[in-house]
Chain A
């Protein structure tokens, strides 16, 4: 049978819509799901995606991608590549699998919501492809680590993590529920494809793929690249939606972008920062996290939103200053509270690594080095109990990350402090002014109780360290420990078992150090 040429049918098929006669428009596209707001209905006729694809083309391309990724995996299955990978790099991969695999599944629902409630036929069509993409991403992100479970049970958390109450997962769930599931679809399109996927994941996947290749993890690099090509396509639902929103309600557009960028940046500082500046072996690091964020996230994102006539977010200076500190605090916290994670954090503070950190972050020694010195002394003097926690950090009511990690010690502008808010007789605590403001404005869609609130509310029983770890789903064979069995600390050993890096700066009054 002869086929009609693509150009004859494509525009009708991709943007099919009709006048409703048996039901009200509002019943089909209710405000709370579609989020019309101030945008007139006819404005959506302009929605036009920059990258166009037909279903047969989509299937052919996806088949090719799948064949590529899975055949490389099959070939490598019999090799010794995995055994030769650095333990620090494996932690990057484990963190990624646990933190991302089932978020891809959550994104299937976000795409499906846009496929049903999106206000233009072309948008709904694009979202169908997006939902198929995210289904593939979930499958591949679960399949690749599955074969490794026999070698290391921490890989089981690729599937398990998102179904637990681990603190990192509660933080991710809170952010992504607020981004994908709670809001109407216009907000979803600005938050997920535009701000998060265009602003963060596209570039993160490129950087992560390069680091994976450099570290010799060809499978991971292949998987990530394969996913990224889909992201680059379906993330384009954001631009046309934003264009229409900016025209009719620029204030709303600015707010959605501002709050999502902040929440994503906070989460990225724990998901990506430690991996780039501490876990990736020193000789394989291409850029520091700060350099990467400045170049790929901050610069590009600002250019992009300014192209749409939007302004720099109100907290921009605070975000930029945070590139010097947030992820260092979070890395230190993850290492100190290491039994609460499903990977093996690598401390990343050998003398050479500290030289690198000092070169990239001039205040690192003063702000964080002296804390690591105390930890190193405890490790080298067999005081391991002093290197393990007996309580929990207080967590932010918005981002769910520890309060203090949006600032740093010895930092006059952004010190360690809580930004409290009394509401209905209850005190909420926040890590920063932006988190407090976002929570206040959007508390109906962004409020989840923190682990601290659940502990104090009696949800965690028994309220002991063991009880908390059990409640988080961590079992002895999975809970995190130092990636290298603390061998790195021996580099600092001298006669009395203590040592300090030459860059270290004293902060104690003379004569009182080390008592």
Chain B
């Protein structure tokens, strides 16, 4: 934990020049992990991209990778992967759950 990178996203995210969207901090859990984490997504991210940002901080670190797609849920409802975070109505400080497609 000594690299100079944004505490809320993958290294390549911080390296990008200027993010186009507005940051949306969410309280995210990845299925089978033991803790909820601060993940910064952008309102322009698709739900699939947002799911990847959550997975980055868990899969391969504390949860084994699987050969399966990711599913993004809010209040128990699956959010379609092609929608953007803004279109899906995800607001800052929301709780989200990312898991494997069965």
Contact = CB atoms under 8 A, between A and B. Distances in A.
A488 interface: no
Interface string B71-102: 00000000000000000000011110000000
A416 B35 contact: yes
Contacts of A378: 60-61
Interface in A351-405: 367-368, 370-371, 374-375, 378, 386-394, 402-405
A390 B10 contact: yes
A302 interface: no
Nearest to B57: A391
B64 to A, nearest CB: 6
A333 B36 CA distance: 11
Given A371-B34, A374-B60, A416-B33, A390 B7 contact: yes
Contacts of B36: 393-394, 402-404, 416-418, 429
B68 interface: yes
Interface in B32-54: 32-39
Contact of A336 (B62, B67, B93): B62
A418 B7 CA distance: 21
Given A388-B1, A402-B35, A465-B2, A374 B7 contact: no
A103 B4 CA distance: 34
Interface in A431-470: 452, 455-456, 463-469
Given A394-B27, A418-B36, A386 B7 contact: no
A417 to B, nearest CB: 7
Contacts of A24: none
Contact of B37 (A391, A410, A463, A508): A391
A463 B94 CA distance: 20
A329 B35 contact: yes
Given A336-B62, A374-B60, A391-B7, A466 B2 contact: yes
A467 to B, nearest CB: 7
Interface in B1-22: 1-11, 14
A390 B64 contact: no
B34 to A, nearest CB: 5
B95 A429 contact: yes
A390 B14 CA distance: 12
Nearest to B25: A456
A465 B3 contact: yes
B100 to A, nearest CB: 9
B25 A386 contact: no
Nearest to A404: B35
A336 B67 CA distance: 25
Contacts of B70: none
Given A391-B57, A394-B37, A512-B67, A464 B29 contact: no
A393 B92 CA distance: 16
B69 interface: no
A515 B63 CA distance: 11
A337 B37 CA distance: 12
Interface in A110-164: none
Interface of B: 1-11, 14, 25, 27-29, 32-39, 57, 60-68, 92-95
19 contacts: A329-B35, A332-B34, A371-B33, A375-B62, A387-B61, A390-B1, A404-B33, A404-B36, A405-B35, A417-B95, A418-B95, A452-B38, A464-B4, A465-B1, A466-B2, A508-B64, A508-B66, A515-B64, A515-B67
Given A394-B28, A403-B36, 15 more contacts: A340-B1, A371-B33, A374-B62, A375-B61, A375-B62, A386-B60, A390-B7, A391-B38, A393-B36, A394-B37, A403-B27, A410-B32, A464-B6, A465-B3, A465-B7
Ranked nearest first, the 6 interchain pairs of A and B with the lowest CB-CB distance are A404-B35, A427-B93, A339-B1, A403-B36, A394-B27, A394-B36
